[in-house]
Each structure stands twice: as structure tokens, then as C-alpha cells.
């Protein structure tokens, strides 16, 4: 009887400890569209820990990375003529650590949502002041800060996962967005 009581006590105690370790919450499964982040200057956090930073960070982008997974991306998964969250899950968020220019307009440092209105030959990028939003279901054009139209470039290489990176230019940087057989360059000046 003492052994049973001891075994039950140990089982109960280990259950309590395990629950306390994960806060009592059930851990979510791995997301099919993992979240990713990029900085300008490129790789800023790694440069910082290696004491190789030469410039302060200008901007950071956080986005969900959907996969092509055999689907037709543009025109079907991402519908032409509809506002897209520029990724998966939460709407893509961009943070400026200093004032920048977007579409010739001065943008104050801070956090914004970056949406895209996708067409076959051009995208309209939308900088919107509402943040912390899932998808584009509650997109509100009244909260737009600026819009910029950019041409679409077709690529010969198929990009399986939506990918974004900042690329330095003479006047600032381009945000390079590539997925499936499409690439766009979104210019920022600073």
C-alpha cells in the first residue's frame, strides 16, 4: 500500500513539475509557414554580437514564409486585385529605427504593416499604420500611410518559400521579395 501511495505521489509530483515547466499550456505544433526576420543592414544581430557593426540598424521586417508546395501562387493562392498580407499568418510588419522615405514620402520611425496589392505585371505596396493584425481580413485603407507601385520581374528559378532580404543601394536599400517565379524590388531611401 505504501508503494502504491509513493508511486502515485511521484507520478503526481512529476506531472505538476512538467506542467509548471510549460506553464500548463499545450505547446503548438510546428507552423507550416514559419516566421522569419530580416534587417538592414543585413545580418545586423549577428554583426552586433561579433562586434562588427559599422552602422546602426535602419529597419527590420517580420513575415510568415508560406511554401509553394505544388500550388499556383500568383493569380490563385494570392489573388490578383486583392490586398495580401505579404506573407502568411500575421500581416507582415516593418519597423523603421529612423525616418525613411517610401514612395517619395517621409515616413516617421516606428512600426507599420506592409501589404501588397498584386497584379500580373505590377504590385502596389501599402504601408499601413495598424499593426499586430492577422492576415489582411481587417485591412483598413483609411490607415494607409503611403503606397508605391513596383514592376514585377519574372525569374527562371522557382523559389519554393517566400523570401525577403534587404539589398543596399546608393540611396538606401531595396526590399527584395521573391516567391515562385516572381520578384519585386521595393525601394527605401535614407
pLDDT in tens, 20-71: 455 678 998 888 999 999 999 998 989 889 999 888 999 999 999 999 999 9
Could you tell me if residue 84 is inside a domain? yes
Instruction: Classify residue 102 by burial, with Cβ atoms within 10 Å: 0-12, 13-18, 19+.
Output: buried
Cβ-contact 61, 114 below 8 angstroms: yes
Residue 32, domain member (yes or no): yes
Query: Would residue 62 count as lying in a domain?
Result: yes
C-alpha grid cell, residue 38 = 530580416
Q: What is the dihedral of CA 91, 92, 97, 103, to 10 degrees?
A: -110
Domain that holds residue 168: 28-189
The verdict on residue 120 lying in a domain is: yes
Domains in the chain, number: 1
Is 23 part of a structural domain of the chain? Answer: no
Please tell me the pTM assigned to this model.
0.84
**Can you give the pLDDT at residue 21?**
55
SS3 state of residue 43? coil
On whether residue 14 sits in a domain, the answer given is no
Within-domain flag for 104: yes
Q: Which residues pair with 187 in a beta bridge?
A: 174
DSSP state of 78: B
User: Would you state the pLDDT for residue 162?
Assistant: 98
Q: Which residues of the chain have pLDDT under 70?
A: 1-23
How many Å apart are CA 168 and CA 38, to the nearest integer?
Answer: 13
Query: Minimal CA–CA distance to 132: which of 105, 151, 106, 112?
Result: 112
Domain presence at residue 151: yes
Predicted pLDDT at 48:
87
Cβ–Cβ < 8 Å for 89, 135? yes
Amino acid at each position: 500500500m505504501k508503494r502504491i501511495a509513493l508511486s502515485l505521489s511521484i507520478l503526481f509530483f512529476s506531472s505538476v513539475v512538467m506542467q509548471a515547466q510549460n506553464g500548463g499550456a499545450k505547446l503548438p505544433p510546428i507552423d507550416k509557414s514559419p516566421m522569419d526576420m530580416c534587417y538592414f543592414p543585413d545580418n545586423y544581430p549577428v554583426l552586433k554580437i561579433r562586434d562588427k557593426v559599422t552602422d546602426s540598424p535602419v529597419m527590420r521586417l517580420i513575415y510568415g514564409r508560406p511554401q509553394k508546395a505544388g500550388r499556383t501562387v500568383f493569380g490563385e493562392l494570392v489573388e490578383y486585385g486583392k490586398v495580401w498580407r505579404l506573407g502568411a499568418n500575421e500581416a507582415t510588419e516593418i519597423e523603421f529605427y529612423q525616418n525613411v522615405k517610401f514612395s517619395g514620402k517621409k515616413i516617421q520611425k516606428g512600426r507599420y504593416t506592409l501589404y501588397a496589392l498584386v497584379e500580373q505585371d505590377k504590385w502596389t505596396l501599402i504601408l499601413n499604420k495598424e499593426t499586430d493584425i492577422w492576415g489582411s481580413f481587417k485591412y483598413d485603407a483609411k490607415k494607409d500611410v503611403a503606397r508605391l507601385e513596383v514592376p514585377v520581374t519574372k525569374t527562371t528559378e522557382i523559389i519554393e518559400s517566400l523570401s525577403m532580404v534587404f539589398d543596399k543601394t546608393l540611396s538606401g536599400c531595396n526590399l527584395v521579395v521573391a516567391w515562385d517565379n516572381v520578384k519585386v524590388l521595393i525601394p527605401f531611401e535614407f
